[in-house]
Each structure stands twice: as C-alpha cells, then as structure tokens.
Structure 1
Amino acid sequence: MDSRLELALTKLKSTGVRMTPQRHAILAYLIDTMCHPTADDIYKALEPRFPSMSVATVYNNLKVFIEVGLVREMNYGDQSSRFDADMTDHYHAHCERCGGMFDFDYPPLAEVERAASEQTGFIVTGHRLEIYGICPNCADITKH
C-alpha cells in the first residue's frame, strides 16, 4: 500500500472517521491520480467496482476528506470543483481546451503573501497560482 494512503488512512482513523470500502476507494483514487478529478470523474471511475455507490456518496466523502485536511477543493467559477490530495504547496497549469489540470513545481511565493498582508492588512491564509494555456495533447490535436 502507498505510504501516502497509509498516512491518510491513519489520519482518518485518528479523527474517528469509520472506514468503508467506498471511502477507502475514493481516497486511494485521489491519492493515485494526478488529474485533479471532479466528483463526477471519481464516481465514473469507481462505479464499476461499486455499482450501488451514488454521486452523493462521493460528495459526502470528499467533504469528510476536506474537513480532515486530506484533500483540497479547487473551485473555478461555474465549472465543477476539482479535488487534489496533494496538500503540499504547489501550483497548477489549466488547459483551456480540455479542462485538464496539471501540477508544476515552483518555489512557494511566500513573498507574495507577505506583500499582500503588509499592503492590505489581511491575515493571509494562503494563495493559489494558476497558469492557463493549451496542454500538449490539445496542441497536438490542433496541428493535425
């Protein structure tokens, strides 16, 4: 079992969250994927293994994971929320054609938070950096 999954399961158990097969599968899927899925993506991926699972089950479990601090929800206006189990500081590139979201490494911009706090008086709790463009797969499609 992946060590990230083991740590996440331990954290869930320590908060008193009961482990169900569906909850385990949703968490494992989120930890194993790099695609930042929507709740519907998760449902579609797991529905063959859990035919009685509903989209509501996925949403309810995602809410639990967010509350415990295992998953972050990324809202993008009117589009569906996407979910990320990588809780480290990292940034995202977002494809304007397919909607794909990809992680990229860049040093955390702590100075931006500091400047925002100094200039606005905010108690800064975090920030999000997103790059928009066309992913390599979509760019290939347009070349043909």
Structure 2
Amino acid sequence: MESSVTSMLRDKGFKVTPQRLAIYGVLSHTTAHPSAETIFNELQPVYPTMSLATVYKTIEILKEIGLVQVLNAGEDSFRYDANVEPHSHVRCMKCGRVDDLENIDASAFIRNVSDHTSYEITGQQFYFYGICPSCRDSKAN
C-alpha cells in the first residue's frame, strides 16, 4: 500500500516524506478513528521534530487525494478514517469510542432522501450514538 500512497502523492504533485507516509500508516492500521492530536502523540517519539501542523496539513492532503475521510461525530475535534468506502459510524457517548458500521444497506434511505428533495445525492455520512458494550458492562457491575 505504501507504494500506491507514494504514487498518489507524486501524481498529485505532493512531496513524499517519511512523516506523510507515517501519518497515513497510523490511519491505515487502525479502526479507532484517531484525532490529529492522537496521531501526533503516537508519532512524536519517532518524529520528535514533527509539528501538529504537519499532521493537519498531511491529513488535508490525504483527504484531497481520496485516501482519508474526515469524521465529525459530534465532538470538539475531528477524527480521521483511512477507510474511504461509504460506511456509517457509531460513537459511545460515555468513552468516545467510534466504531465502523459495516454491511448496513442505506441505499433505500438515500433513495428516499433523493426522491423527497430532488437532490442528486453524491455522498453521505451517518452517525449513530449510544453506549458501547464495554461501558454498558462496566455500568452493570
């Protein structure tokens, strides 16, 4: 995957740097949907001179070339996901965990929105909120 990321960056006129590859590496190897601050903190020991601004700028570049999607799950900061295929998310209102919802067919709902608004729907993001199993289990004990 690193070679395709390298190619995509170069094809779009962006420099390929170890920091950019590392930031994408963090995103592509997790389903935790980290914030920029989380990515920065994870990479700080390896890249001590890298700034938080570099993380934000790299995320914007990765978003621009279609390798990352930005999530706004109702928190103070955005989260990022290297899975750019259409899928929904669910967020725990107690601990803040965000999980992917895979294999949920939203096509009927999207078609219904299109039919009722006459919009040509070009994208969507669904967020669900609740209490995750870990928090629910710890509350029960």
* TM-score between the two structures when normalised by the length of structure 1: 0.89
Amino acid of the residue matched to residue 139 of structure 1?
A: R
Give the number of aligned pairs: 141
Amino acid of the residue matched to residue 79 of structure 1?
A: D
Report matched runs for 1:35-54 at 5 Å.
Answer: 35-54=32-51
1:95 counterpart (75, 92, 105): 92
* TM-score between the two structures when normalised by the length of structure 2: 0.90
Listed as ranges, the gaps of 5+ residues in structure 1 are none
Q: Which runs of 4+ in 1 moved over 4 A?
A: none
- For 1:131 and 1:85, how far apart are their aligned partners in 2? 19
When the two chains are superposed, the root-mean-square deviation of aligned CA atoms in Å is: 1.6
Amino acid of the residue matched to residue 94 of structure 1?
A: R
Aligned-residue offset at 1:114: 1.8
- For 1:110 and 1:10, how far apart are their aligned partners in 2? 33
Identity %: 36
2:135 counterpart (133, 138, 143): 138
What SS does the corresponding residue of 1:73 show, helix, strand or coil? strand
Partner of 1:84: 81
1:116 counterpart (89, 110, 113): 113
Amino acid of the residue matched to residue 62 of structure 2?
A: F
Alpha-carbon displacement from aligned partner over 1:3-53 (angstroms, at most 9, x marks no partner): 4x4433322222122111110100000000110000011011111111111
Partner of 1:56: 53
